Amino acid sequence: MTRDNFSNDRRATITDVAREAGTGKTSISRYLNGETGVLSTELRERIEEAIAKLDYRPNQMARGLKRGRNRLVGMLVADLTNPYSVEVLQGVEAACHAYGYMPLICHAANEVDLERRYLQLLTTYRVEGVIVNALGVKEETLETLARGGVPVVLVDRAVEGLVADMVGLDNPEAVRMAIRHLVSQGFDELLFVVQPYAQVSSRRVREAAFRDTIGALGISGVTIVLDLDNDENLAEIDARISAAQSQNRRVALFAANAPVALRVALHMKDRHGVDWQRRVALMSIDDSEWAELDGMTTVRQPTYNIGERAVEFLHERIEGAGVAARECLLPGELIVRASTSASTNNGGT
């Protein structure tokens, strides 16, 4: 054995295979591209042997360079720390495999400039499309991409001024569902807690839906903005709760997403001890793993479907669909647990 056809450090190329099989590169290429039936079975066998012997793997880079598509799609995730993102990701991955795409996952870790750098990088690798769940990309950055012929689909969050496909939760309905539940459980004072929402469409929509709904229902309530990096407003929550409870109102906290819910829960535990849930009712959008453990009512998002749907949209665009921008709003599911049960929890002191 001459040592140099096996593990020769340098990977075998199509030329090596052709030589080994005693034929031309074209036939190899045809074989690789499944143009079966165009090759004599005899040749095909020789090719298969050669490929196996050399442990040949076609170079996707070269392939992409030539044919202009590399099957790469970018997935920009604002925060993998948020289980929501991971779940969406799973849907994205599954769908990508189904369509033959390779997802390039970029994690911006909530940093706006990382976000922009990644987008640059993605165009540099000539991805065929991008799925964006981002914190602060400006319409401008994305617009550049889109004009460059790279389809963009947005997840969870719209980007101001950008017309593009978008898929996410049906926020207004989710919020209504939650509020109706709270009302049916006898709560009559609602505190909606949300991160600064000016820049993030989904937060904005949820907040608006909250105000609309309590208005329509004639329920008393107020929005409290909570910055997770600077949680001074936790004090305001405490004050509101005390005030309401001293008037014998039954107050419930409604967190706009899981990170907020966690922050609030931690604070309540600090303040009221391990029995905090007997003193204050908390529910949230996003069904995290501890929601079950701590018996918190939630609205579960159809995360997996959101991911799948995003890829479908993207695929259609990549295939050249020229239709107008679409919006896909999927329904959430109310998961009722003890935290909002009328008996478990009472607002009295």
Partner DNA sequence: CTGTTAGCGCATTCAG
Partner DNA sequence: CTGAATGCGCTAACAG
Q: Which residues bind DNA (CB under 7 A)?
A: 10, 13-15, 22-30, 32-33, 37-40, 42-43, 57-59, 62-63, 65-67
The least CB distance from residue 124 to its own copies, in Å, is 5
The least CB distance from residue 297 to DNA, in Å, is 53
- Residue of 72, 63, 166, 66 whose CA lies nearest to 128: 72
- Site mask for its own copies (CB under 8 A), range 279-298, x = bound: ----------xx-xxxx---
Taking CB under 8 A as the criterion, the residue among 98, 125, 216, 242 binding its own copies is 125
Dihedral sign for Cα atoms in the order 32, 34, 40, 45: positive
- Site mask for its own copies (CB under 8 A), range 66-85, x = bound: ----x---------xx-x--
- Residue of 190, 193, 189 whose CA lies nearest to 247: 189
- Residue of 219, 211, 214, 224 whose CA lies nearest to 263: 224
Grouping H, G, I as helix, E, B as strand and the rest as coil, residue 98 is: helix
* Residue 38 contacts which entry, its own copies, DNA, none (Cβ below 5-8 A, type-dependent): DNA
Backbone torsions φ then ψ of 100, nearest 5 degrees: 80, 25
* Residue 349 contacts which entry, DNA, its own copies, none (Cβ below 5-8 A, type-dependent): none
* Residue 33 contacts which entry, DNA, its own copies, none (Cβ below 5-8 A, type-dependent): DNA
* Residue 48 within binding range of its own copies, rule CB under 8 A: no
β-bridge mates for residue 166, sequence order: 154, 327
* Residue 269 within binding range of its own copies, rule CB under 8 A: yes
Rounded Cα distance between 260 and 122, Å, is 31
The least CB distance from residue 310 to DNA, in Å, is 27
- Residue of 145, 135, 144, 167 whose CA lies nearest to 154: 167
CA-based max dimension of the chain: 90
- Residue of 145, 178, 179, 189 whose CA lies nearest to 164: 145
Taking CB under 8 A as the criterion, the residue among 46, 107, 157, 181 binding its own copies is 107
Q: Which residues of this protein are in contact with its own copies, per CB under 8 A?
A: 7, 9-11, 55, 57-62, 64-65, 70, 80-81, 83, 86, 89-90, 93, 102, 104-105, 107, 109, 120-121, 123-126, 144, 147-149, 262, 265-266, 269, 274, 277, 289-290, 292-295, 338
